[in-house]
Amino acid sequence: MNIVQVALDVPLPRLFDYLAADSDESDIGRRVNVPFGKGVKTGVIVGVAAASEQPMDKLKPVTVILRDMPALPPDWLALCEFCARYYQTPLGEVASFALPPMLRKGKLPRMPKTSAPSTGDTGRSAGATDLTIEDTALQPPLLRAQHAAVETIVAAGNFQTFLLHGVTGSGKTEVYLRAIAEVLAQGGQALMLVPEIALTPQLEGRVAARFPGAHIVCANSGMADAARARGFLDAHEGRADIVLGTRLAVFMPLPRLRLIVVDEEHDASFKQQEGLRYSARDVAIWRAHQRDIPIVLGSATPSLETFHHGGSGRYRLLELPERAVAEAMPDVRVIDTRRQKLQEGLSSELLTALTLRLERGEQSLVFLNRRGYAPVLACPPCGWISRCRRCAANLVLHLADKRLRCHHCGFETGIPRACPDCGNVDLLPFGRGTQRLETMLAERFPEARVLRIDRDSASTPKKWQALLETIHAGGADIRVGTQMRAKGHDFPRLTLVGAVGADAALFAADFRAPERLFAQLMQVGGRSGRAELPGEVLIQTEYPDHALYRALAAHDYTRFAASQLDERRIAGFPPFSYQAMLRAEGREMAQALDFLAAARSAAEPLAAGVTLYDPVPMRMQRLMTLERGQLLVESLNRPTLQAFLAQWMERLYALKMPAGLRWHLDVDPLEF
């Protein structure tokens, strides 16, 4: 009698054996329905065996092996196994996550007739792509550096990690497209990862226009279940030529995969912050290595980890030094705000520059990375401030819809008429968010059309699209916004960017905050002056001589990165060390810290070559009424850390858990 080993989506680091009389090796990689507890679960068969470690009479038979789609290939299973090992997550949870929700539930989407594979054929085979896939009429001419980059990537053939470093407008996307064209011409598939769902529609449009004969599949969590499952099958069965998606697309099975592109590789959204805490960029590199194919990481401001590898020769650095679109880089200047009285947070220089743009009929953008009207509502006489009842955080005042809102847990409530503590009716907003800036600018420049762009005003793709259309139609003179998610969109009349309140990130407790600030400012600055009009970037600061701003003014990412890497080397931070974070949450902080202390004791005998820090409350120590603590472990050597984590996890699973306590491990954490 045959036994199948099944990876099931349960939080236990083991496989489950079931009886399956009719199974054989060809069932490895198939989905299977099995009885589990009182119900039926769908899992993936990862092995078949003649014997089990469990007593045979304890084993149950499978409900049914799902043979309605081709088995998932060995390299896909190996990818899941790698993630399970590296991120210390049960294989069943990884495999389940890697499948689209519909397939995960044991269902299949209805496939359109046109794309159904003919019997016995699994899609397009290599060399069969005589059809012209590319529309070469749409190719812009290449600059020398672009040309060299394309040649180098195409020539690589085998595994090689490229870092394509080029400022906004230097034509990175064109390099990706040329390399992809080459891959398609050889009958291969290409995978392109982008950080945001919002970026996919317009990129898809550009890719589709360029490759009208190619089958392009999108993959992101915003898609309807059936569409996502169809895309997965198109990729798996070889019909898709190009897969374009957010981080989860890294798990698409691609039999003819020949190239991976990770655009904006520095973006933090490539790292998932819940469940399987994987970095899609890092997993993509592993996958390229597994398949022995080139991978291109592109960015204007690479993550310091990536840039370090570019400098050490582990990755191959490809520089695009010039802008392909405009002649000049924007003029970046700092405004010293220490000795001037600001008007609602704005300096006279910035106000003058805004006036000038209005007179010339040009557009401006004021960047402030804080949503809402004011970060807190306060009662000055008694000291009351608006606090979230569930989190260690303030409730943010949103005047646009008259609410107090927690940006961490989503709790919201109306604005009190009077102070809940003393009855005073003169409650005051403190500090400044985008809504307040919007109001102030509208009052100051009554003739201007002021448009706010943040997660509140662009809360859905539809609203975001509408905002973009307004901007493109010239319907905004001044934009106020947090993150400027508009890659690939040219705003030809945007000639001024003002940055307000950026200093906070300079001295943040998180050692990655300066890196993020530099990337943000470089990105917003890069949006200005892309056509015939020169751009100007004004940064208000109390630290005009700070190295970060100096490097920014000189457009010198390399200098900034070098100085940051020096600091990291001295401090022993990544990329000069490898980290993992154990986090615990419970009803009481003591509970969480006690668990972490026990975890630390369990780690001590295993921790040769690993530094164990002390358990501490997290910076956001209460979230959704749960108290949270963390324990950092670190090593100078990645294999040492990995070996330690594997042993440690076994002991953690065996630890006694107080009721209500939850924990997880985050390997290569980005958030502290």
What residues line the site for Zn ion (CB under 5 A)? 379, 382, 384, 388, 390-391, 406, 408-409, 411, 419, 421-422, 424
Measured from the CB of residue 277, what is the shortest distance to Zn ion in angstroms? 22
Measured from the CB of residue 46, what is the shortest distance to Zn ion in angstroms? 40
Q: And the tokens for 449?
A: 């059309």
Measured from the CB of residue 627, what is the shortest distance to Zn ion in angstroms? 13
Measured from the CB of residue 585, what is the shortest distance to Zn ion in angstroms? 14
Comparing CB distances to Zn ion, the nearer of 383 and 488 is 383
Do 284 and 265 form a contact (C-beta atoms < 8 A)? no
Comparing CB distances to Zn ion, the nearer of 184 and 427 is 427
Comparing CB distances to Zn ion, the nearer of 199 and 379 is 379
Do 280 and 248 form a contact (C-beta atoms < 8 A)? yes
Measured from the CB of residue 454, what is the shortest distance to Zn ion in angstroms? 19
Q: Which SS3 state, helix, strand or coil, does residue 327 take?
A: coil
Which segments of 551-601 are extended strands (E)?
A: 578-586
Comparing CB distances to Zn ion, the nearer of 285 and 626 is 626
Q: Output the CA torsion 228→232→233→238 (10° steps).
A: 140
- Cα distance between residue 372 and residue 463, in whole Å: 17
Give which of 561, 519, 541, 506 is closest to 334, Cα–Cα. 541
Do 320 and 164 form a contact (C-beta atoms < 8 A)? yes
Indicate if the alpha-carbon torsion angle 173, 179, 184, 185 is positive or negative: positive
Comparing CB distances to Zn ion, the nearer of 326 and 379 is 379
Do 255 and 125 form a contact (C-beta atoms < 8 A)? no
Comparing CB distances to Zn ion, the nearer of 353 and 406 is 406
Comparing CB distances to Zn ion, the nearer of 618 and 641 is 618
Measured from the CB of residue 418, what is the shortest distance to Zn ion in angstroms? 8
Q: Which residues pair with 582 in a beta bridge?
A: 631, 665
Measured from the CB of residue 453, what is the shortest distance to Zn ion in angstroms? 24
Comparing CB distances to Zn ion, the nearer of 512 and 622 is 622
Comparing CB distances to Zn ion, the nearer of 217 and 427 is 427
Do 49 and 39 form a contact (C-beta atoms < 8 A)? no
Measured from the CB of residue 435, what is the shortest distance to Zn ion in angstroms? 19
Write the CA distances from 185 to 129, 137, 215, 304, 590, integer angstroms: 7, 16, 13, 34, 61
Q: Which residues pair with 331 in a beta bridge?
A: 536
Amino acid at 365: L
Measured from the CB of residue 373, what is the shortest distance to Zn ion in angstroms? 18
Q: And the tokens for 76?
A: 């896909």
Do 613 and 593 form a contact (C-beta atoms < 8 A)? no
Q: Which residues pair with 664 in a beta bridge?
A: 583
- Cα distance between residue 24 and residue 140, in whole Å: 53
